[in-house]
């Protein structure tokens, strides 16, 4: 009896000292158990790593991608709360800038189309909530290596063709311009890994993939990718090697000469076509260049008529341009230049707001460029904007989804790594 009283006394003292945690209600316990069932970070990681190659090969998932990340975002915020990523304000500004083009046009389709774009460019915000993916560089290396092997095999055995524009072959997505951007993303990833990662295995794997993706870029015959290649590759070497940049650029030129000679020996017709396409970049008499010059001039004329907020987002189309060439007329349903397209459709308000968002995203990656993923994303954003000089990818939005899934993965990785480092210091 005395022993039992002593136990009761000890328990009472423990409660008085606050050493026992009060029991939770049955409702709270059920809620906590339900939350533990969902490891949202794990789902996010593998959903992203599987969606990247799946979407690169086929675009049938484009509607589901936004829904998947929206659901994961709600679950993550519900479980752990919301974390700011620094893109929220410029995202709102960008969308309001595009939406301002509704004023004057008063077309409901303008707001609907702006909403479609908002769902895509918000992906970095939705994807910035998770813990950084452990070993992301290695996992992305597996993904991009798989795409390289698939792309080369597809181009050699059963290439897709456009049915027009010289029947140019491609291997990814649903269009040769989109496919070339995907190939360029793989090239950039492995170029950065070749420079940043240590160890002969990484060097050998990266060098092999750089060659494979360069070959795919050449096969696509897309001048925007050729221009991006000639601009971004020296820029990467300049920023990565700095004082040794001349050595790096010299090595690049030597490799380019060797690859060109090899290509000329193995496939002389491909080498000749590539050289001709590169030269045509500055040839104003080239067929597609003539069409672009006509439509670019018209886009500037439309902008001059409504310079403040434009004629309405996605309202500049073939009705504004008559090329006088029945064979090429259907090809030019937009400005074939994102910046001129937005100038005509959204005016200075929309363009300034849109560029503010992209510059803020670029600044985020620039600040985190010491991380290999941050550097890759920075170069990818610059390369993508070079592609936008010749095409208006925002019009069809298909490749924008692919690019912004990568940007979302990059934002989450660099910010998550930074948070982890800050917490470790504390």
Out of 219-223, 291-295, 331-335, 380-384, give the one with best mean pLDDT. 380-384
pLDDT at 128 over 70: yes
pLDDT band of residue 234 (cuts 50, 70, 90) is confident
pLDDT at 23 over 90: no
Q: Greater confidence, 342 or 158? A: 342
Tokens standing for 129? 């909530």
Q: Greater confidence, 174 or 373? A: 373
Out of 10-19, 84-93, 255-264, give the one with best mean pLDDT. 84-93
pLDDT at 124 over 60: yes
pLDDT of res. 290: 74
Tokens standing for 357? 């968002």
pLDDT at 19 over 60: no
pLDDT of res. 8: 47
pLDDT of res. 242: 64
Q: Greater confidence, 200 or 257? A: 200
pLDDT band of residue 26 (cuts 50, 70, 90) is low
pLDDT tens digits for range 382-418: 999 999 998 889 887 899 999 999 999 999 999 999 8
pLDDT band of residue 284 (cuts 50, 70, 90) is low
The closest of 316, 283, 318 to 299, measured between CA atoms, is 316
pLDDT tens digits for range 327-372: 444 545 678 899 999 999 999 999 999 999 999 999 999 999 999 9
CA atoms within 13 A on the CB side of 395: 23
- Average of pLDDT values for 156-164? 81
- Average of pLDDT values for 215-225? 89
Q: What percent of the chain has pLDDT over 90?
A: 54
pLDDT at 245 over 90: no
Mean pLDDT for all residues in the chain = 83
């Amino acid at each position: 009896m005395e022993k039992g009283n002593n136990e009761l006394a000890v328990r009472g003292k423990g409660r008085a000292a606050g050493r026992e945690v009060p029991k939770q209600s049955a409702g709270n316990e059920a809620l906590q158990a339900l939350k533990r069932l969902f490891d949202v970070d794990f789902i996010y990681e593998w959903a992203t790593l599987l969606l990247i190659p799946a979407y690169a090969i086929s675009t049938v998932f484009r509607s589901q991608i936004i829904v998947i990340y929206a659901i994961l975002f709600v679950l993550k915020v519900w479980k752990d709360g919301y974390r700011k990523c620094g893109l929220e304000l410029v995202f709102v500004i960008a969308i309001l800038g595009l939406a301002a083009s509704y004023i004057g046009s008063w077309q409901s389709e303008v707001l609907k189309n702006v909403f479609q774009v908002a769902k895509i460019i918000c992906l970095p915000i939705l994807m910035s909530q998770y813990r950084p993916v452990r070993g992301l560089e290695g996992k992305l290396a597996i993904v991009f290596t798989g795409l390289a092997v698939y792309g080369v095999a597809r181009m050699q055995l059963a290439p897709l063709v456009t049915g027009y524009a010289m029947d140019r072959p491609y291997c990814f997505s649903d269009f040769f311009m989109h496919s070339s951007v995907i190939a360029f993303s793989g090239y950039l990833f492995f170029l950065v890994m070749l420079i940043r990662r240590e160890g002969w295995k990484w060097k050998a794997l990266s060098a092999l993939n750089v060659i494979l993706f360069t070959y795919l870029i050449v096969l696509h015959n897309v001048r925007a990718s050729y221009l991006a290649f000639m601009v971004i590759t020296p820029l990467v070497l300049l920023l990565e090697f700095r004082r040794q940049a001349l050595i790096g650029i010299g090595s690049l030129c030597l490799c380019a000469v060797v690859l060109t000679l090899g290509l000329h020996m193995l496939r002389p017709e491909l080498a000749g076509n590539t050289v001709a396409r590169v030269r045509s970049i500055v040839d104003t008499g080239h067929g597609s260049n003539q069409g672009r010059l006509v439509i670019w001039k018209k886009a500037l004329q439309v902008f001059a008529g409504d310079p403040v907020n434009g004629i309405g987002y996605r309202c500049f189309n073939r009705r504004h341009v008559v090329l006088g060439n029945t064979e090429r007329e259907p090809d030019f349903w937009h400005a074939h230049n994102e910046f001129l397209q937005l100038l005509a459709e959204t005016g200075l308000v929309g363009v300034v707001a849109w560029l503010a968002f992209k510059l803020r995203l670029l600044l985020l990656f620039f600040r985190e460029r010491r991380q290999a993923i941050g550097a890759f994303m920075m170069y990818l954003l610059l390369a993508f904007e070079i592609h936008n000089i010749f095409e208006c990818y925002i019009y069809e939005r298909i490749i924008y989804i692919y690019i912004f899934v990568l940007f979302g993965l990059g934002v989450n990785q660099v910010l998550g790594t930074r948070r982890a480092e800050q917490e470790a210091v504390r």
